[in-house]
Amino acid sequence: MRFRRSLWALIAIFLVIQLLPANRSNPPVESEIPAPPRVKNILQRACYDCHSNETRWPWYSAIAPMSWLVIYDVDEAREHMNFSTWNQYDDDEQRDHLEEAWEEVEDGNMPLWYYLPLHPDARLASEARETLHSWIRTQTED
């Protein structure tokens, strides 16, 4: 009997939290990062869901509490670096963002490990990594 009440209480809580508003918005794109199509494709596939205003919100981003985590991650990523507001960064900031982005990719920190199982197309094969690295080197040379 106690288990049944607990189960009903959990179900009720789950249903109630679905009513809380969750801001899954995509603000307007101000500018795009000037990259060749091949690089742009890699960025869109592996980075844009979090680091742009062109997020493709997956089905689970509409179900609390998972929605809270997804929205938090996207908000944090956009705040750190946003390809849709690239024009707001000066040359030094753009260079710093690209260098840091490559360091994160090189260290295996990006894309995030927990993002990849549901987004296997974001996995960066060695050829894509080399393409990205070569392009970033040309953008960050002094």
pLDDT in tens, 22-38: 888 899 999 989 999 99
Number of domains observed in the structure of the chain: 1
Q: What is the mean pLDDT of residues 39-50?
A: 97
Give the chain's mean pLDDT: 93
Whether 54 is covered by a domain: the verdict is: yes
Whether 19 is covered by a domain: the verdict is: no
Whether 70 is covered by a domain: the verdict is: yes
Residue 18 is predicted with a pLDDT of 84
Whether 13 is covered by a domain: the verdict is: no
Q: In whole angstroms, what is the distance from residue 49 CA to residue 83 CA?
A: 10
Tell me the residue length of the chain: 142
| Contacts for 61-67: CB closer than 8 Å, 24+ residues apart | 61/22, 61/24, 62/22, 62/24, 63/18, 64/14, 64/17, 64/18, 64/20, 64/22, 65/17, 67/22, 67/24
Whether 103 is covered by a domain: the verdict is: yes
Q: Which of 22-26, 36-40, 55-59, 97-101 has the lowest mean pLDDT?
A: 22-26
pLDDT over 80 at 8, yes or no: yes
Residue 121 is predicted with a pLDDT of 94
Whether 69 is covered by a domain: the verdict is: yes
Whether 12 is covered by a domain: the verdict is: no
Q: Chain centroid to CA 102: how far?
A: 15
Q: What is the mean pLDDT of residues 115-121?
A: 94
- 108: region left, alpha or beta (phi > 0 left; psi from -120 to 50 alpha): left
pTM of the model: 0.86
pLDDT over 80 at 114, yes or no: yes
Whether 80 is covered by a domain: the verdict is: yes
pLDDT over 70 at 142, yes or no: no
Provide the 3-class DSSP secondary structure of residue 67.
Answer: helix
Task: Give me the domain span that covers residue 59.
Answer: 24-140
pLDDT over 90 at 75, yes or no: yes
